[in-house]
Amino acid sequence: MKYQAILLLTTIGLLSTYYFQKNQHRILTEYQPTIFDWQYCIERTMLKTCDQDDPQDRSNCYQVASNTSQCYSETSQLASTSCIHWWIYFESSQGKDTLPDSFYQCAEDCIEYAQENNFYFSQTFSPMWITCSQQQKKDN
């Protein structure tokens, strides 16, 4: 009898822990941005291009932009495999689809090129590949 009571209490305890965590989880949940979220974020950010860079730095910015796009561009022979997978996904995706792993892997593959120029990195690469692809917090 005593044993059964303990078992029952344990079960109730586990169940309420489960519900509590589930509820917590819902409050704190972070969700993977969708293609729409990502594009909307990019539009709001207004990326800058190398021609808006300091003239002294401009040619380096162009070179780095070119090197980086060779890594991620779908038309480049030198594109990383993840980037190619990302573009294939993108082309058949809908706005409600989430950003796939290949997107994040592509960003990781190409970041080393982008980091060679501060302006390009902070004004173009980061917003598009890092900031706008971060998980978003849901309000409820």
Ligand X SMILES: *[C@@H]1O[C@H](CO)[C@@H](O)[C@H](O)[C@H]1NC(C)=O
50 lines the binding site for ligand X (CB under 6 A): no
Q: Among the candidate windows 20-28, 35-43, 60-68, 122-130, which touches ligand X by CB under 6 A?
A: 60-68
63 lines the binding site for ligand X (CB under 6 A): yes
| DSSP one-letter string for 80-131 | -HHHHHHHHHHHT--TTSBPPHHHHHHHHHHHHHHTT-HHHIIIIIIIIIIG
114 lines the binding site for ligand X (CB under 6 A): no
Phi-psi region of 103 (alpha: psi -120 to 50; beta: other; left: phi over 0): alpha
Q: How many Å apart are CA 103 and CA 114, to the nearest integer? A: 16
Instruction: Give the residue with the Cβ less far from ligand X, 38 or 120.
Output: 120
Instruction: Give the residue with the Cβ less far from ligand X, 67 or 118.
Output: 67
Q: Among the candidate windows 12-20, 24-32, 56-64, 120-128, which touches ligand X by CB under 6 A?
A: 56-64
One residue of 33, 38, 50, 64 binding ligand X per CB under 6 A: 64
Amino acid identity, position 27:
I
